[in-house]
Amino acid sequence: MSRQHEAFLAALPSTLPVMAGYVPLGAAFGLLFSELGYHWVWAGAMALFVFAGSAQFLAVGLLAAHAGIVEIGVAVFLLNIRHLFYGFSMLRRYAAAGWRKPYLVFGLTDETFALLSTRNAPEDVDADDFRLWVTALNQCYWVVGCTVGAIAGSELDWNLAGLEFALTALFAVLLVEQVRAVREWFPFLLAAAAGLGAIMLAGPQNMLLAALAVTFVVLVLQGRMSWTR
């Protein structure tokens, strides 16, 4: 058995919960995307080259509003800038990844981060190969879901009312998994307080960046205080 085969078999069970969320969620995106009148191939292409669930759902709304490419690019960048806040924590883990590193950085979604931050490779499996397969399998699930949903949407007539809530539901499940894995309440209570404060001060449209910025600054200050003790 080759090294990559061993890493694949080790990663597959860990990604099955993500598959259970990504395939139906991707299908929801594909259905919504098909309502815009685009060919189903473009849904699969977005899943392959963009690979950002929340950004793709945002793009559906912007495309429906006939937004320009610059507007879409800026909006997607601002939405995905949150990856910087938890991407820093993966720098050491990816330091020796070599040729795998560019793809690992590209494929670091919220769900992949949740897995890689709580699951370790078996002792007889290369850690970077394990991370590579976790990332690749998660993207495969997403590509399949988006493509199948877009094909189904182009061929059948669907009632899509309320379907956009699927992304919110997935984030709620991931939050529960993170709470159970970390078992430390302060970061989550801080994030909740920052989110509520951001909604009141910055408004719903700008709350995400404001809440992330406040959370990031407080956690950095907390870390510096603990280092100086």
Q: How many CA atoms lie within 13 A of 130 on its CB side?
A: 17
Q: Confidence band (pLDDT; 50, 70, 90) for 228?
A: low
* Residue 62 predicted with pLDDT over 80: no
Q: How far is CA 54 from the centre of its chain?
A: 7
DSSP character at residue 164: G
The helix (H) or strand (E) run that includes residue 73 is helix 69-80
Among 23-37, 43-57, 137-151, the range with the most confident prediction by mean pLDDT is: 137-151
Average pLDDT score over residue span 57-83? 75
CA 23 to chain CA centroid, Å, is 13
Q: Looking at 33-37, 69-73, 174-178, which range is the least confident one?
A: 174-178
